[in-house]
Copies of this chain bind each other. A is one copy, B any other.
Amino acid sequence: MHLDKRRNQLLLGTFVHSKSQKELEIFHNAAVAVDANGKIAAVQRDCASLDVAKTQTLATLGWHVDDIDIYTTKESQFFFPGFIDTHIHAPQYPNAGIFGKTTLLDWLEKHTFPMEASLKDLAKAHKVYTAVVRRTLSHGTTTAAYYATIDVAATNLLTDLCRAIGQRAFIGRVCMDRPGINPDYYRDASTAAALGATQQTIDHIRAVDPKFDLVAPILTPRFAPSCTSEGMKALSRLQAEGGYLAQTHISENTNEIKLVRELFPEARSYAQVYDDHGLLTPRMVLAHAVHLTEEEGSLIATRGSKISHCPCSNSSLTSGAARVRWMWRKGIEVGLGTDVSGGYSPSILEAARQAALVSRHVAAAYTGDDENERERLKLTVEEVLHLATRGGALCLGLEDRVGGFEVGKDWDAQLVGLGRVADSGLRDGEEYTANGHGSGAAVPAAGAVPALNGSDEGNVDIFGWESWDEIIAKWLYNGDDRNTKKVWVKGRLVHARR
A447 in contact (CB, < 8 A): yes
Separation in Å of the A327 CB from the closest CB of chain B? 18
Task: Tell me the nearest residue of chain B to A96, going by C-beta.
Answer: B478
Separation in Å of the A419 CB from the closest CB of chain B? 10
B364 touches A463 (CB 8 A): no
B364 touches A319 (CB 8 A): yes
| Cross-chain contact of A316 among B123, B319, B357, B461 (Cβ < 8 A) | B357
A96 touches B477 (CB 8 A): yes
B444 touches A474 (CB 8 A): no
Most chain B beta carbons < 10 A, residue from A320, A448, A497: A448
A131 touches B315 (CB 8 A): no
Binds B, one of A190-198, A265-273, A423-431: A423-431
Specify which chain B residues have a CB less than 8 angstroms from the CB of A453 in the assembled complex: 138, 495, 497-498
| Cross-chain contact of A318 among B347, B378, B423, B473 (Cβ < 8 A) | B378
Contact flag A361-B315 (CB < 8 Å), given A426-B130, A482-B456: yes
Binds B, one of A1-9, A211-219, A232-240, A384-392: A1-9
A3 to B317 Cα, complex, angstroms: 48
Specify which chain B residues have a CB less than 8 angstroms from the CB of A456 in the assembled complex: 456, 482, 497
| Cross-chain contact of A97 among B315, B365, B478 (Cβ < 8 A) | B478
Give 1 or 0 for each of A82-118: 1 = CB within 8 Å of chain B CB: 0000000000011011111100000000000000000
Most chain B beta carbons < 10 A, residue from A450, A454, A474, A495: A450
Separation in Å of the A403 CB from the closest CB of chain B? 22
Specify which chain B residues have a CB less than 8 angstroms from the CB of A360 in the assembled complex: 315-318
Determine how many copies of this chain the complex contains.
2
Q: Among residues 412 to 427 in chain A, which have CB atoms less than 8 Å away from a CB atom of chain B?
A: 421-426
A363 in contact (CB, < 8 A): yes
A81 in contact (CB, < 8 A): no
A452 in contact (CB, < 8 A): yes
A258 in contact (CB, < 8 A): no
Contact flag A447-B3 (CB < 8 Å), given A344-B477, A454-B498: yes
| Cross-chain contact of A165 among B320, B364, B443, B497 (Cβ < 8 A) | B443
A325 in contact (CB, < 8 A): no
A97 touches B344 (CB 8 A): no
A380 to B99 Cα, complex, angstroms: 10
Give 1 or 0 for each of A454-480: 1 = CB within 8 Å of chain B CB: 101001110101100010011111101
Separation in Å of the A415 CB from the closest CB of chain B? 12
A481 touches B495 (CB 8 A): no
| Cross-chain contact of A425 among B134, B442, B448 (Cβ < 8 A) | B134
B478 touches A364 (CB 8 A): no
B498 touches A425 (CB 8 A): no
Q: Among residues 111 to 144 in chain A, which have CB atoms less than 8 Å away from a CB atom of chain B?
A: 123, 126-131, 134-135, 137-138
Specify which chain B residues have a CB less than 8 angstroms from the CB of A446 in the assembled complex: 2-4
A70 in contact (CB, < 8 A): no
Q: Among residues 177 to 218 in chain A, which have CB atoms less than 8 Å away from a CB atom of chain B?
A: none
B425 touches A129 (CB 8 A): yes
Separation in Å of the A141 CB from the closest CB of chain B? 13
B344 touches A448 (CB 8 A): no
| Cross-chain contact of A448 among B3, B138, B354 (Cβ < 8 A) | B3
A493 in contact (CB, < 8 A): yes
Separation in Å of the A161 CB from the closest CB of chain B? 7
A423 touches B478 (CB 8 A): no
A99 to B356 Cα, complex, angstroms: 12
Specify which chain B residues have a CB less than 8 angstroms from the CB of A166 in the assembled complex: 444, 448
A450 touches B127 (CB 8 A): no
Specify which chain B residues have a CB less than 8 angstroms from the CB of A3 in the assembled complex: 446-448
19 contacts between A and B (CB under 8 A): A4-B447, A97-B473, A97-B478, A98-B470, A99-B473, A101-B375, A134-B425, A137-B451, A138-B453, A165-B451, A318-B360, A318-B363, A344-B477, A448-B493, A450-B494, A451-B494, A456-B497, A459-B480, A480-B480
Q: A131-B426, A164-B443, A315-B357 are in contact. List 10 more A-B contacts (CB 8 A).
A: A2-B447, A94-B465, A94-B466, A318-B364, A448-B494, A450-B486, A450-B496, A456-B482, A459-B480, A480-B480
